[in-house]
Amino acid sequence: MTTIGARTGVLRTVTLPFWAVDDRVGVCGSNAGAAKDPHWVGNIRADSRCWVDLRRRRVPALARVSEGEEREVLFDRIGPSHPHLHRYRDSAAKSGRELPLVVITARSAQW
């Protein structure tokens, strides 16, 4: 995923595992359960525009951090097949942060 740097405006690319969530893609800002969110999450919070490289194509997309009930539903859907997410969520909570689950939607009709 490529985001726009929140402070610099420079394009920043990271490689992330992802999950299909209906017609969207989900990624987790785990930072391995560390005390701070990864920089790319801050970039998304500042500017939702991003690009996702999937199936050898670069897809323009919009990303946002899920919150509230939507976030819990995502954890319930993704969690059984990715139990490490619950460990990361618990570890992040110990340092006072909420583990961000980011929902990405293609700007064009499809992925």
Please list, in sequence order, all residues whose beta carbon lies within 8 angstroms of the beta carbon of residue 18, skipping any fewer than 6 positions away.
Answer: 25, 26, 27, 52, 104
Question: Can you tell me the distance from the alpha carbon of 6 to that of 86, in angstroms, rounded to the nearest whole number?
Answer: 28
Question: Can you tell me the distance from the alpha carbon of 2 to that of 101, in angstroms, rounded to the nearest whole number?
Answer: 16
CATH of domain 2-106: 2.30.110.10
Q: Give the confidence band of 89 by pLDDT, cuts at 50, 70, 90.
A: confident
pLDDT in tens, 16-52: 999 888 888 999 998 887 889 999 999 999 999 999 9
Residue 109 reports pLDDT greater than 70: no
Q: Give the confidence band of 95 by pLDDT, cuts at 50, 70, 90.
A: confident
**Is 40 in contact with 50 (CB distance < 8 Å)?**
no
| Domain positions in the chain | 2-106
- pTM for the structure as a whole: 0.88
Q: What is the mean pLDDT of residues 49-69?
A: 94
